[in-house]
Structures are given as structure tokens and as C-alpha cells.
Chain A
Amino acid sequence: DIQMTQSPSSLSASVGDRVTITCRASQSISSYLNWYQQKPGKAPKLLIYGASSLQSGVPSRFSGSGSGTDFTLTISSLQSEDFATYYCQQSYRTPRLTFGPGTKVDIK
């Protein structure tokens, strides 16, 4: 199985900050990497697929990059509604779409 790791596991930031979250795969997964946002008590929401493609309706302050084993989710200017937990997911080894452990973004 492909193992996914994320760093940091949590971070504190202020509105307007630039935030970067890293995801690493245990083997090369090309660009088969998705990012989700999850707020407490809610289902996850797809933000990015194919490492860098923005899902329809997602604000352009979210962006993704990377390929192979190392990937990044960037929020260019953090908004109050962005405080949530973010998960990466590999889609290289379908249909076993394993997730990273998550990164919690909270208010500084």
C-alpha cells in the first residue's frame, strides 16, 4: 500500500497569512494527488485534484503543486472560513484511495 504523510500535523495562522502544507507519498504517484478540506461535523470537500487542478467553485487562493512523491497545498491569503483540517489523498493506486493523516489549521 502507498503510505501518505503530511506536515505539519497542525499549525496556527492569522487571517491574511500565506499557509503551506506538505504531503509526501511513500512511492512515486506522479500527479495523482487530491486535497480535501474538512470542517468539524462536516464531510470532506474536494479542493484540488491531479495535484494542481482546482475543483470547480473552490476559491483561487487555494493552489496545489508537486509531482512524484512531494506535494504542496498553498493558501495564499488565509480567510476565516479556511480554518479546518486538510487531507491529501493518493489516487495512483485506485480504487484504494488512501489519505494522509491530516493537517489542522487553527487561529493564532
Chain B
Amino acid sequence: EVQLVESGGGLVQPGRSLRLSCAASGFTFDDYAMHWVRQAPGKGLEWVSSISWNSGTIYYADSVKGRFTISRDNAKNTLYLQMSSLRAEDTAFYYCAKASADGTGFYYFFAYWGPGTLVTVSS
């Protein structure tokens, strides 16, 4: 059974840093790209960042580029999101998601998500 469990959220002051982790199990972690998606309380879903299976390809949303760093440790089956220079608008639930494709390889989607971890940026 695929399981993703985020941790590391909490209350942090503006301008400070925080590192989120996502522990993965139930699948061959280093076969798959992974993503972070966030959701401000009461708002919609926002894709944040992605990392390929070997960390060779990384992308960020413009809203976090230069402040957030995605990484992974395939030996530990763990995905990370290092967040720095945090702002009030970064307050959100942060979800990690496993990238999947259908049998044809054409269609790409998030079939598995963690339960999320809440990051609150406030003084």
C-alpha cells in the first residue's frame, strides 16, 4: 500500500526557515517523480514544486522560486521541501504527491497524496 506522510509543519515567524519532509513507503520511491502541492486555508490547490526520480530535473512555481528548495534522499525514501524567507502568504497545508502515469504513459496525475502538514507563518 502506497503511503506518504508529511512532517515538519508548524508556526514560524516571517523571514524564517522551515524544512518539510515526506516519508514514502509501499512503492519503489526512486522510480517516481515527486511533487509538493499546497493549499492555503479555505483556498484552492497550488502546485509548488517537482523533482524527478534522480533529482536531475527540478521545477518551482514562480511564487516560491528562489526561496524554496526541493530535494530527495532515495536511500531514505524521503522527499524534502526547504522553505526560507517565509511570508504570511506561504501559510498553507503542504501535501506531497506521487507522480503517476497511466498504462499508455500519456496521462500524468497524482493518484497518491499524503494527509498534509500545516505551515503557519505569523509573528
The chain B residue with its CB closest to the CB of A56 is: B111
Separation of A103 and B5 alpha carbons in the complex (Å): 27
From B7-15, B44-52, B76-84, the one touching the partner chain is B44-52
Residue contact B45 to A46, C-beta cutoff 8 Å: no
From A14-22, A67-75, A94-102, the one touching the partner chain is A94-102
Chain A residues lying within 8 Å of B106, measured Cβ to Cβ, are: 32, 50
Could you say which of A50, A87, A91, A94 contacts B45, with CB atoms under 8 Å apart?
A87
Chain B contact residues: over half helix, strand or loop, or mixed?
strand
* Residue B95 lies at the interface, judged by CB distance under 8 Å to chain A: yes
* Residue B115 lies at the interface, judged by CB distance under 8 Å to chain A: yes
Interface residues on B, range: 20 to 34
Instruction: Kindly provide the distance from the CB of B119 to the nearest chain A CB, expressed in whole angstroms.
Output: 16
* Residue B1 lies at the interface, judged by CB distance under 8 Å to chain A: no
Instruction: Kindly provide the distance from the CB of B69 to the nearest chain A CB, expressed in whole angstroms.
Output: 16
Could you say which of B44, B57, B59, B108 contacts A87, with CB atoms under 8 Å apart?
B44
B interface residues (Cβ-Cβ under 8 A, vs A): 33, 35, 44-47, 50, 57, 59, 61, 95, 99, 102, 106-111, 113-116
Residue pairs across A and B with Cβ atoms less than 8 A apart, 10 shown, are A34-B107, A43-B116, A44-B45, A49-B107, A91-B108, A95-B99, A97-B109, A97-B110, A99-B45, A99-B47
